[in-house]
A and B are shown apart, each in its own frame.
Chain A
C-alpha cells in the first residue's frame, strides 16, 4: 500500500487512436508526491494527447488512471478539476468575451452560486486573492479577457489551473509565452507547490529549462514512451537524441562566430515611433540577420508589425530600395519592396488552418503568378506549392491537404515556405521557432542560413535568447519601448549580458 501511496498519480497502458493513427500506445507513467516531471518529445509524439486525457478533455480508448491510489476516470475537465488536477493546455486560450474573473472559474461557477445567482463580488475577490497568493501582478477581474496581452492571458490560464488547489499541475508549453520575469515567478511557484507535496507535469521545448526545473524527464516518441530518467542523468544532447531517436550534432545554430554581411543597407528605420515603441533607428544590411529582443512589453513584436506596414507609425520612416528612397507605409509597399513577414502567432495570424497547403503557400505570391486579366492559373499554383513542399520537405500527402491536419512543425514550414521566393529580399521573422520541436527547429535554422547565403536579409524577433545569440549578426535590445543596446555577433556574447539590459 505504501508504495502506491507514494505515487500521487499513475496511468497504466493508456491507448488513444485517431482513425488509424495510434497517438498514444500503451503509455504508463507514475508521478511521485512532490515530483516535478518533465514530459518531452517532438511535435506529434503524443504529449498533448496524453495530457488532454489526464485533464479529462478526451477519453482514452483503453488503459486506467489512478489518483492518490483511487481509480480516476474523468469524463470532462470539470471532473478533473474536482479531483484537483489543474491544467494549462498548449493552445487553448481564454474566452475573450468574458471578464477575467469569470474565465478563472468558468465551468465551476456553482461554488459561488446562491439561489441560482452567481455572487460576482466574492468570485472576483477570490480571483484577486489568487493573483496575490501566487505573486503575480494583479489584473482587474472585470475587464474582458480579450483585451489582455498574450502573456497576461497565459497567466490567467495559469491562475485558473492553480485555482483548483492542484495536487497535480500540468503545464503544457507555458513558458514560451512568458517573459523572463514571469518565467522566474513560475519557477518559484513550481518550487512552492513542490514543497507542499504537490506534483507537476511540465512540457517545454526549452531543453535547458527542462533539465533545470524537472526532477525527472519522460521522453515520448511517435506515440510511445521511450524512457523516464532523472534529470541528473541527462544532458541537452542526450535528450535531443532520445527525442529524435538518432544523434543530433551539438549545435544547430550557425557555425561561424563572426558577423558577416555585405555593406549595402537594404532597410533603414529612421526614428520609428508608434503606440508601443519610441524613436527606434537601425539599419539592415544585405545578408544580415538582425535580432530584436526584449521583455514582453518592450514593443519588439509591434515593431515587426510596423516594419511590414500592418501597424501605422506615428512618426519616423522605414526606408528601403536601392538608394533607400522608397518609404514603406503599407503592407502593399512592403510586399512590393520584397519584404516578407512571418508573424508570431502561426495559427491565428499566419495560416488559414482549414484551407489547403496550396492556398496557404500561394497567398503572398498572387502578384507573381497571375497572368493576363489577372488570371491565376491552377498550373502555376501547383508549381509554386509543390516546389515549396519539396524545398522545405513538408511532410504531407499532397498540396491539397488541409493545414489543420499537419503537425505544428510542418505548419511552420508552410508558413516560412510561402515567403521564401525570388522576390523576397527582406524577411521579418517573429518567433520563427515558437512551439516547434528540435527537429524542425534545426531545419528552420538551416533554412535561415541558406537564405542568408542567398543574400536575403532577415530581422528576427524572438523571446529565446540562445536562438538570437546563435543566429544573429547583430542583436538589438529593447526596453520600455526604446532601443537600449546593440551588440555585434561575437563569441563572448552571453545570455546574461543581454538579460541584464532587458530587465
Chain B
C-alpha cells in the first residue's frame, strides 16, 4: 500500500521545482506574472524551446547531442525568406523544413555511417552554418513579406505549435521511431544485435531534429521581424537546458520523456520572465538564474533518486521471496 503513495509522489515531484518557482515569482512580481499579456509573453518563449526540444529529444534519447540546432534554424529561416521573396509565401515553411531536414540528413549520415562523435559533427556544423548565414545575408537585413510577420500572431502560431508538438509527441512516445531511439540510448549494441537498423534511426533522429530547427527558424523570422544573422544564437544551449532541467537524462534512454521537456521549457521560461518582471538587476538576473537552474535540477534528481532507491529495494525484496 506504500507503493501507491510513492507512485503518486512520482507524478507530482518532477513539478516540485517548477511549483516553487511559480509560487515565488507570483509573490515577487505581485501577480504580474499572471496577467494575460505576460502569460502570452511566456508562451512565446516556450514555443521555440519546446519545438526545438521535440526534435532534439530524439537525438538526446539516443545518447547523442545536436549542437547545430541554433545555426540550422538561422540558415533555414534565412534561405526560406529568400526563397519566399521569389516563390511567394506558400514556399516559406516548406523550404525552412526542407533545409532543416537536409542539414539533419547530413549530420545523421556523418554520425551514423562515418562514426564521428555527434558533438564533434554538430559543433562543426554550428560554426560552419552560422558563417554561411553571415555570408548569405552579407551583413544586410532581409525583409520578409507581411504573411511571414503574421506567423507571429498567436492565432497562427499556436495551432502550428500544437500540430507540430502533437506529431512529435506521437512519434516519440507511440511509434518505433521513438521506441528505437530510446533503445539505442539504452544500449546501442543491443539495439544492433536485436536487428534494429541503428544507422537508419540515427539519421531519422537528426532529420527530425533538423526539421524542428527549420520550423523554429521560420517562426523566429516572424518573431523578430526579418532575417537577422544572429538569430538562433545559443538556441541549442537553451534547448539543452530545457531538456536537462526537465530531467531528460544526458545519456538518453528510456528516461527521455517529452513531458519532461515541457516541464523544463516552462521552468526556464518562467524563470527568465519572472526575474525580469521582478526587476532584478540585469547583472544579478543571470547569477540568480544560474543558481536556481542548478538548484531545481539537483532537487528533482535528488527526489527521483530517493524514489528509485525505494523502488529498487521493493523490487529486490520481491525477488528474494
Contacts and interface: CB of A to CB of B under 8 A. Distances in A.
Interface residues of B, number: 31
Given A19-B313, A354-B253, A363 B319 contact: no
Interface in A296-343: 305, 308-310, 330-332, 334-335, 341, 343
A386 to B, nearest CB: 16
B115 interface: no
A459 to B, nearest CB: 15
Interface string B244-257: 00000000011000
A396 B253 CA distance: 22
A350 B193 contact: yes
A406 interface: yes
B187 A351 contact: yes
B192 interface: yes
A358 to B, nearest CB: 10
A312 B175 CA distance: 29
A348 B177 CA distance: 22
B319 A355 contact: no
Contacts of A364: 194-195
Nearest to B254: A355
Nearest to A378: B174
Interface stretch (A227-235, A236-244, A397-405): A397-405
Interface in B302-321: 312-320
A356 interface: yes
A139 interface: no
Contact of A402 (B183, B313, B315, B317): B315
A129 B216 CA distance: 63
B170 interface: yes
Contacts of B179: 359, 362-363, 366, 376
A397 B312 CA distance: 11
B183 to A, nearest CB: 6
Nearest to A352: B186
A244 B270 CA distance: 59
Contact of A363 (B194, B197, B316, B317): B194
A343 B320 CA distance: 28
A418 B193 CA distance: 13
B186 A374 contact: no
B190 interface: yes
Given A332-B197, A350-B190, A364-B194, A19 B174 contact: no
A197 interface: no
Interface in A380-417: 395-397, 401-402, 405-407
A335 B193 CA distance: 11
B40 interface: no
A21 B314 CA distance: 9
A375 B195 contact: no
A19 B318 CA distance: 11
Nearest to B192: A310
Contacts of A310: 192-193
B195 A332 contact: yes
A352 B253 contact: yes
A352 B183 contact: yes
Contacts of B312: 19, 402, 405
A374 B180 CA distance: 13
B317 A352 contact: no
B195 A335 contact: yes
A396 B315 CA distance: 8
Interface string B181-225: 011001101111111110000000000000000000000000000
Given A363-B179, A397-B315, A405-B315, 10 more contacts: A20-B313, A331-B192, A352-B190, A354-B253, A354-B254, A355-B186, A362-B179, A363-B190, A366-B180, A374-B177
24 contacts: A19-B316, A21-B316, A309-B195, A310-B192, A331-B195, A341-B195, A343-B193, A348-B189, A350-B193, A352-B191, A353-B186, A353-B187, A354-B186, A355-B253, A355-B254, A359-B254, A363-B190, A376-B174, A376-B176, A376-B179, A397-B314, A397-B318, A401-B315, A405-B319
Interface of A: 18-22, 44, 222, 305, 308-310, 330-332, 334-335, 341, 343, 348-356, 359, 362-364, 366, 370, 373-377, 395-397, 401-402, 405-407, 418
